[in-house]
Amino acid sequence: MTVFKRFVGKRVLVTGAGTGFGSAIARRAGLEGARVGVHYYSSEAGAERTAQQIRDMGAEASIFQADISSWDAVKAMAEACFDEFGGLDVLVNNVGDIATEQMSWRDVTQELVDRVIDVDIKGTLYMIHEFGTRMMEQDEGGAIVNIGSTVVVRGSPRAPQYAAGKYGVMALTKSYARAFAPKVRVSAFAPGFMATESTVSREDWNTGRREAITAATPAGRVPTPDDLAVPALFLATPEASHMIGSYVIADGGRSTVGA
């Protein structure tokens, strides 16, 4: 498959890039020529692995650690990133807490609600605000891609707080898109189910849910993170310059949203 070098000379930071979809996005950005910032909170070994894979491709990679639910930690990471890279062209806000261990709405607790809201809404806001403010000061501006979810269409009977968190991401995307346009483009990419490590290890995934999801998806398959890293990064390219405040769904047709 031909790899188009869409990010040669660009500086890209991906949050939650130690594992899963974040790692796939970071690796793809490196494959396409970017200098990549690999953020992690607790998965240091995963971040090191992702960074080394990027370096093995011949690209540059730096690692940044922060708890994005802390505004002070986000400020510190923004300063460190801009100092090391001399600026930033693309931010991908991939981090999101999906309460993986929760199997039913009956299992909701205040701790789980607080954890998801702190990361998905507060953390995303802090990241957009701090990094976007600095991008606005650059001559070349920048692009921010927030990773959303199709739960904004279908809801989540398993984890309602997760759906609420992703609705919050949609609102933040539209709000900052209008605030920052046209210098910094803010948009969101919403994947459906992916065969990530955390998904395929879940109890419900291995007791019939995988088959049910596949059967309900017109594309007839559940994609890997690598499959969806390419369209996610498209939103940060010049070709997507008129896509501002967009919420782009890529779920194999499962949601089939109308006008």
Which residues form the catalytic set? 162
DSSP the chain: -----TTTT-EEEETTTTSHHHHHHHHHHHHTT-EEEEEESS-HHHHHHHHHHHHHTT--EEEEE--TT-HHHHHHHHHHHHHHHSS-SEEEE------TT--SGGG--HHHHHHHHIIIIIIHHHHHHHHHHHHHTSTT-EEEEEE--THHHH--SS-HHHHHHHHHHHHHHHHHHHHHTTTEEEEEEEE-----HHHHTSTGGGTTHHHHHHHT-TT-S---HHHHHHHHHHTTSGGGTT--S-EEEESTTSS----
At which residue do the structure tokens 């879940």 appear? 202
Closest C-alpha to 247, from 151, 135, 138: 151
